[in-house]
Amino acid sequence: MAALIKWKNHHIEDVEVNLLLNALNERYGYDFSGYARASLKRRLLGLMHYFDVGHLSQLIPIVLYDEEIAQTVINSISVPTSEFFRDPGVWYYFRTTILPQLASFPRINIWQAGCGYGQEAYSLAILLHETGLLKRSRIFSSDINPLFLDNAQRGCWPVRYKQQWSDNYAQAGGSGDFADFFIEKNNDIAIRDEFKQPIEFIQHNLVVDDVFKEMQLVICRNVLLYFGNTLQEHVVDLLARSLERGGYLLLGRGENIVDLPEKHPQLELLDSSLQLYRKLIGVS
């Protein structure tokens, strides 16, 4: 009997999750149905404690009529994890191996998908500056969440992270003083304006929106982890179609997508430890 009750409760929770996701999609256009189910359900059920409700379905009429609460729910699903020069080894490889290759393009267009609070986009700008490529580069940094985009555009973070990020920068082969890229005021550090200029922050939904054309580099790190297999394949195809032939795709180190080269033959695996791919010259 206890096992039956437990099964029924789980089944009801699944129904509630589906109804809430449908409400977000119909009302606000956010389609999370293809996200990895276990982590999605865990995050949504955590909202019951945050909003002090007994059942997840009690949030449905609230999110339909209260846009601020709806945004809180959306934020809980798309939580950003970002820092300057996260995984320094990846950035060191990028600096020493990929950027010299990108330098052969007359213009360098970069799409960085899933910008979070902007640290990765500004890390790119710093590297391009140090390698003399920033003036002929454009970074399109996108996210589904307008709140994250607003924070990223401000380019301001608590000063307590400065030492950790400075260490990352040094390990990534940084050639200067990390502090020189910021203005420190009160308890915050703000990125200098010259590193904001080449970045355009754009709201973009990987689930339903179309491609960015003619990119020489696409970076989508630690985003696909939250997607189910079908959505992963859709997004990888989207990213690949955004690349110019000979361009590079960099995924997150933990995003070892099963059978990616077989399902996406236009992509050549260059380094499995970095999840780095290149679009073959002879394909569109």
CATH code for the domain in which residue 114 is found: 3.40.50.150
Whether residues 227 and 203 share a domain: the answer is yes
- Whether residue 82 is contained in a domain is answered as no
The domain boundary, picked from 29, 52, 77, lies at 77
pLDDT digits (tens, 9 = 90+) for 12-50: 788 888 898 888 888 877 777 767 777 778 888 888 888
Checking if the pLDDT of 75 tops 80, the result is no
Lowest mean pLDDT among 29-38, 53-62, 200-209: 29-38
**Mean pLDDT across 127-139:** 95
Confidence of residue 6 (pLDDT cuts 50, 70, 90): very low
CB count within 10 Å of CB 187 equals 8
Whether residues 160 and 99 share a domain: the answer is yes
User: 138 phi and psi, to 5 degrees?
Assistant: -135, 130
Checking if the pLDDT of 194 tops 60, the result is yes
- Whether residue 284 is contained in a domain is answered as no
pLDDT digits (tens, 9 = 90+) for 92-121: 999 999 999 999 888 999 999 988 899 999
- Whether residue 178 is contained in a domain is answered as yes
Q: How far is the C-alpha of 149 from the C-alpha of 279, rounded, in Å?
A: 28
Whether residues 71 and 95 share a domain: the answer is no
- Whether residue 20 is contained in a domain is answered as yes
Total domains in the chain come to 2
Any idea what the Cα angle at residue 268 is, between residues 244 and 216, rounded to 5°? 20
- Whether residue 83 is contained in a domain is answered as no
Residue 193 makes CB contacts below 8 A (sequence gap 6+) with none
Whether residues 46 and 139 share a domain: the answer is no
Domain span at 222: 88-279
The pLDDT, as a whole number, for residue 168 is: 96
